[in-house]
Chain A
């Protein structure tokens, strides 16, 4: 075919030049349009993100609210009331609670009780991997699910460092044994084929804000697990407000977060047992 390529003389005609120049200009214009125009993936980003300012939680760091929780491992008695109230209010399947409670031991052998809701990370791995933005950050730092959008690929479940997500493998027909003793369902059951998770009871938070209450300070605006705790081991509130109960508690006590080395920036803090961990 083109084996016998001898010396090729480059003759640039006027026509060639115009073609090349036109193509170059066209490419530049197209690139410009695609990076800054309405089709651009960057068009939804805020200016601070474009400038490379590290921002987590999509507004939680700068907004009015950043909902967080403190769990006091020293006072927790492991009664599982938080698990049950959560399961009743959110109508969660008993075998796969959103909020787990387990017995634990410190390195010195002391027994304590460890519980874990969703940690509502500010750099949430689940939010990053979801192909359809079915799980996303709200401006108040909460990581929530859009059950109408989830396709059930379960990548978020695989990516979550804290095992905080469960999948609906089948249509739920179970009877919730915690209703009505520990509460009544305030949200509807999730359909088959979607992933679900703890929401910090956003339905209560949003309703409270609408009626002028302050979540964290008014019990009716708190997540179910916080209200039912008989020893007050869980405190909920606004981490962005330095005068909130939770902020003062964090200021006065040492606290840790789980798997901090991953940089997921959870919004749930733990006060360790007095014997240490």
Chain B
């Protein structure tokens, strides 16, 4: 293992790399300025208001956690189901998962009204709240991923002089299957409770259904590995080194394709049961409002179904396309876009539907109106900058692809 770091080339600063770093720097500065404005002036700087109290940032939370699901899916495939062939990609998957979860926590701190009280869920428990459970699971899982990834960090030559850290890391490395199992349990819990956050809200007709948690976890399990696969290909193109065999990446893509089919199947029955066979007046009314006043249907059919499921499934499963890495990456990115659109559509559409609680016939709240403003987009860009910076740092400084199995 000691020889691993020896043959590393010195970090080069090609013009392309400098341009890339400039882009990341600009994104991070935009994010930091937006964050400062929000911390100084409060959430009034955003376009959210009392009728639509959740918006773009919650979408980012949900999406980045879902996209981090490659970590636990691929870890479970390797350590739990014993498919050791996939071992080479686990490090990258855990790394991507870590970036996703930490990005979600960063956005969450932005989104709550009192960031100074971010620790309250640990101090004051409400065990009945799914949001409490989610907070706990996300932080615990982030810790697990740090444990899983710590041995990789210690392979950096910076730690050459600290053998005790290496030996501690070795202990952690041996416990990897245990962490994978723990991570699997915790991930299964919170990936689905993120859907339950909406599914249990009985006051909002288009949210209140038991399929919510299932659709959330299935989409996460399907798309997370596809994102890891795409990132592996892109890293290969940029660095010019084939780190993971294309057979393995193609198998991940095919797995993702099948998982997307399962997701599509559940989605189909959800649609059939909720909007056709078993529709209630409240759901009918809500969907009517949404279709009239928002691009809900367009986002659902084009964004979630065609872009998010149909095209990626064809690209991942058709033998004609899935030998072409570019098409696999395209499929992965489309699936990612599909998940983001899904999370947006669920969150914002549910809040757009006006609450009707008056006993009379005239008064209903006006339908919600919301589109993120520049500051909210600024935070989004900052988060993207953070993710890109982390990946760049990982590729440059960490042995993401070197096998340590003996």
> Considering the complex, which residues of chain B in the window 77-110 have a beta carbon less than 8 Å from any beta carbon of chain A?
84
- Chain A residues 162 to 192 lying within 8 A of chain B, measured CB to CB, are 162-163, 165-171, 192
B50 touches A166 (CB 8 A): yes
Would A258 and B203 count as touching, CB distance under 8 A? no
> How many Å lie between the Cα of A163 and that of B355 in the bound state?
7
In which size bucket is the chain A interface? 35 or more
A253 proximal to B (CB < 8 A):
no
B248: CB under 8 A from chain A?
no
- Which B residues from 20 to 51 make CB contacts under 8 A with A? 41-44, 48-51
| Secondary structure class of chain A's binding surface, majority of residues | loop
Chain B neighbourhood of A128, CB < 8 A: 128-129
Residues of A within 8 A of B363 (CB): 102-104, 114
B361 interface residue, CB < 8 Å from A? yes
> A104–B361 contact, CB under 8 A?
yes
**How many angstroms between the C-alpha atoms of A194 and B117 in the bound complex?**
11
Are A105 and B362 closer than 8 Å at their CB atoms? yes
Determine which residue in B48, B125, B129, B363 has the highest number of CB atoms from chain A within 10 A of its CB, and name it. Answer: B129
For window 48-80 of B, CB contacts with A under 8 Å fall at: 48-51, 53-54
Q: Which residue of A lies closest to B198 (CB)?
A: A158
**Size category, B interface:** 35 or more
Complex formed: what's the CA distance from A162 to B351 in Å? 13
Contact at B44–A114, with CB atoms within 8 Å? no
Interfacial chain A residues near B114, Cβ < 8 Å: 150-152, 193-194
Partner among A116, A125, A151 whose Cβ is within 8 Å of the Cβ of B121: A151
Tell whether, in the assembled complex, residue B203 and residue A114 are in contact, meaning their CB atoms are under 8 Å apart: no
Contact residues, B337-357 vs A (CB, 8 A)? 351, 355, 357
Taking A102-B358, A149-B124 as known contacts, 20 extra A-B pairs with beta carbons closer than 8 A to each other, sorted by chain A number, are A41-B127, A125-B201, A130-B129, A131-B129, A132-B117, A134-B124, A150-B117, A151-B118, A157-B53, A158-B204, A167-B43, A168-B42, A169-B42, A169-B44, A170-B43, A171-B42, A193-B43, A256-B359, A258-B357, A262-B202
14 A-B contacts, Cβ less than 8 Å apart?
A: A96-B50, A106-B361, A132-B124, A149-B120, A151-B117, A152-B112, A154-B54, A155-B131, A159-B201, A162-B357, A166-B50, A167-B50, A167-B53, A194-B113
